[in-house]
Amino acid sequence: MIKVLVTGGAGFIGIALVNKILRESDWSVVVVDKLTYASSFEALAAVDYPSRFAFERADIVDAAGMHRIFAAHRPDTVINLAAESHVDRSIDEPAPFIDTNVRGTGVLLVVSLAYWRSLTGSGRKKFRFHHVSTDEVFGSAGGERSFRETSRFRPSSPYSASKAAADHLVSAWNRTYGLPTIITRSSNNFGPYQIPEKLIPLTITRALQGKSIPVYGNGLQARDWLFVEDHVDALLAVHARGRVGRSYNVASGKEMRNIDVVVAVCGELDRIVTRSTLRPHAKLITHVDDRPGHDARYAISTKRIKDELSWQPRTSFDAALTRTVAWYIDKTDWWQRRLREGAHERRGLGWQSVPVGAHRERS
């Protein structure tokens, strides 16, 4: 049986990954999470496989704590999802992003290297340090261009810069020390348990409250949208069969403008919440000043993961959106509690409060 240590396992992607591992394999999982506002421990507290699940509340920047956890649980492999991840927050307060994403990754690499060197035989051979990153490290893609794994990093925000730095550290530990590492970089994820500060849950939850839905600038920024369950399928495929020292892009191939995503969410709410007095929900859309350094387009090529690992997304955007909207309607208590506990609905320089129903067009 494989024992995997998942850092950030009580976060949005971590929850989907941990539940899939426990549900569809015989692996055991050790989750390490410091339980910030973006964590949802209750989503893991009632797992159906308690004999294969352990939880450690800890911060990855705590080297002594990480050494203790590795020694106590003796994981066969590591998937690092622990990160501060919201661009707006990084603009307002970059220090936590540097601390967790850069320093924390560095601590994990130091601890993992010492642990890996202590292993022998098959244990040492099967160990992997799998670092989960983002397409934002590449910066804005112009025209029809899609970034490959070997493309140059040009991060625009403190968040993406911190992730780019972490990626470089992971690659350096592989090249300098021989630590068996793999990196995956995904496009924009969405699905259940995502904090209401991200675009799709932000739109859903503000619309359900009858609040204005902020769209930065003209809303023409383009993103690839990946359902979280497809992402975790890719993570497990890469972890099992990916080549050590290699990176893999993960995306859906469904590129949409932000304004079109928001309109699609509003349309789905109109369809599901048929008796709402707020229909059509698109009347709540409000264009606000753009945030600094806002990349116009993200696009990554997934040729490598498709050719080498035969992975491709299985869920259409429309089907995933229907499931996601229905989940937030059903889990009102969950996202309202997240808001009370510090999940701000929108942050970042350029955000303006506006009256409900106000609509200001921008060119």
Question: Which residues belong to the active site?
Answer: 135-136, 159
Spatial CA neighbour of 108 closest among 82, 135, 90, 133? 82
Spatial CA neighbour of 306 closest among 254, 240, 249, 230? 249
Compute the distance between CA of residue 172 and CA of residue 177 in angstroms, rounded to an integer.
Answer: 8
Cis amide linkage into residue 280, ω under 30° from 0: yes
Q: In what order do the strands lie in the sheet with 255-257?
A: 188-190, 222-227, 255-257
Cα–Cα–Cα angle for 200, 201, 204, rounded to 5 degrees? 90
Compute the distance between CA of residue 337 and CA of residue 69 in angstroms, rounded to an integer.
Answer: 30
The amino acid present at 72, given as its one-letter code, is A
Q: Residue 280 CB: number of other CB atoms within 10 A?
A: 13
- The 8-class DSSP code of residue 199 comes to H
